[in-house]
Amino acid sequence: MITDLLLLLLSFFAIFFAVGVLYSREVVHVVIYIAGLFIDLGGLYIVLSSPYVGAVQIFVYGGAVTVLLMFGVMLTKRTIKEKKEKIVTQFDYAVIVALLVSLYVGALFSYTNYPTELYYIGYYSLSNNMFGTYIGTFVLLGIVIMAAVIGGVYIVKEEDQL
Amino acid sequence: MITVYSESKDIVLYILNLLHITASTLPWYVVPTLTSIVVIIIAFLFTVLNTVMVIWVERKFLGRFMDRRAAMHVGYAGLLQNFADGIKLMRKEFIIPSSSDKPAFLLSPLLYISTTLLAIAFLPLSWGFYLNNISFSLILVTAFFSLAPLSIFIGGWASNNKYTLIGGMRSAAQMIAYEIPMILTIISVIILAGSLNLTQIVTAQYKTGWYILPLFIGFIVFCVSILAEVERIPFDLPEAEAELVEGWGTEYGGVYFAFLMLTDYLRGYVGSALAVLLFLGGWTMPTYFPAYLTAFPLAGLIWFLIKVYIVFIIFVWVRASLPRVRIDQLLSIGWKKLLPLAVINLLIAIAVVSVGVWA
């Protein structure tokens, strides 16, 4: 009962923070909303009975990544506040697409069989899964992320610097 | 054995008895909920009282280091001076600067205080004196301890003042830089103890001896990093009063200022408590102590607090002796000295464990 209530509350706040990230007009507010979202996701992990992942989420994303984002924001030009142009210009199409996607995802979720009992995931089972069963996926994910970083650097670099 | 939970349950049952309510007729969740609330109130009051006493210790010792008597008129030896200061600050007007970003300005101290108080919830103080005994409490304490740079940064930015912005950026950079050696030394302790639980780390030290003996370098690195994390004087660049007025907290006045100062000292208290738990054996007493010292209730708690206060007095001593470092010295201490020392300390821990001397 309490788990369901917390789940609903945390999900509501997750959506609130996500919408705040999109609609905020001030870059620093965006970082605050992202920090809230990260900490909220850590809470969701804890409620879904894998508290170790939640603690690491709060530790790494809430503590370190948001401060890095903040430093990134401090390097931007701070004239965005004055501009009042709208991001969303095709609101009606966006609503239709969002409804279709949510219908599809909802149907997908309702036809999947999930385990009804939550089982506790400590760090022993986590490390066994991560470095045992799913080690191939883990390494592949690392390679994909590294490729993304190198690609980002490649795109940002000017032609004559390559 | 006396635990906070059993004592709080006794208190709740006694109060229910006074109100002529029999506990067995109530729904099952009422008594545990009330007990939890009493436990939380006890832990909160204990922590805040300790923080105020830490401030008193700092004032008295700093006064003696400066060859003067510190606060001595309010209460015995100035014990109540901090409460008087707190009441004075609470009665002052709280001004919000008109050009500030109001929601972020009000949110930032709230985040700073609440995340530090959350770290308290996972800090065991004695065998029975803890709020919860989760299996990775050390990770959670450091996690909530490391959420502070964000709130400081938001506060410095939202005040819309060049001093607060510089202070906030310095503070965030310093905390991020000094977290790395701190966490490396914590990892060396985890390797020696083989556990992420603070109670089990203390138990392991009771069996084998304090971890300050094999990890002396680690203890030094940890204490210096904690000094930088809580922004005490050799590392108080973020609020360097000669250059930045009061750093990131310049625009906060009245009750907000009181709570920010209280949280600064709360972080100092948590930092010295962590140093005691990780390196100095926590609340366990030496076996050669006579039984009348070790057996009476709350003995572990008092022994733990004595150690915490000694560590904090060393911090005060450092504050009285050393001048503030420059920003380039700060970075070179962090990256060129503490980080290699922390790595050497990690190697020592691995060597000690693999030889099997300290396990």
**Amino acid at the residue B295:** A
Residue A104 CA, distance from chain mean position:
21
Measured distance CA(B308)–CA(A21) in Å, rounded? 42
Residue B282 has a pLDDT of: 82
Measured distance CA(B172)–CA(B151) in Å, rounded? 9
- Note whether B120 and B41 are within 8 A (CB): no
Could you give the ipTM of this predicted complex?
A: 0.74
Please name the member of A63, A70, A123 whose beta carbon is closest to the beta carbon of B136. Answer: A123
Measured distance CA(B143)–CA(B31) in Å, rounded? 31
Residue B7 has a pLDDT of: 79
Residues of A with Cβ-Cβ distance to B112 under 8 angstroms: none
Please name the member of B134, B146, B169 whose beta carbon is closest to the beta carbon of A59. Answer: B146
pTM of the model: 0.83
Residue A9 has a pLDDT of: 92
B104 vs A: CB within 8 A: yes
Cβ <8 Å between B140 and A62: no
Measured distance CA(B264)–CA(B81) in Å, rounded? 18
Residue B344 has a pLDDT of: 92
**Amino acid at the residue B83:** F
A63 vs B: CB within 8 A: yes
- Note whether B114 and B262 are within 8 A (CB): no
Size of interface A-B (CB pairs under 8 A): 59
Please name the member of A28, A39, A52 whose beta carbon is closest to the beta carbon of B136. Answer: A52
Residue B341 has a pLDDT of: 92
Q: Which distant-in-sequence residues (6+ apart) come within 8 Å of B51 by Cβ?
A: B262, B265, B266, B269
Q: What are the mean pLDDT values of chain B's consecutive 10-residue runs (359 residues total)?
A: 76 83 78 84 88 90 88 83 87 84 86 87 84 84 85 84 84 85 90 87 86 89 90 80 76 85 89 91 80 76 90 91 86 88 90 81
CB burial class (10 A; 0-12, 13-18, 19+) of residue B111? buried
pLDDT in tens, B37-62: 888 888 888 888 999 889 999 988 98
Cβ <8 Å between B101 and A28: yes
Measured distance CA(A48)–CA(A6) in Å, rounded? 10
Cβ <8 Å between B143 and A123: no
Please name the member of A35, A39, A55 whose beta carbon is closest to the beta carbon of B136. Answer: A55
Cβ <8 Å between A55 and B154: no
- Note whether B128 and B1 are within 8 A (CB): yes
**Amino acid at the residue B323:** P
Give the CA angle between residues B169, A41, B145 to the nearest 5°. 45
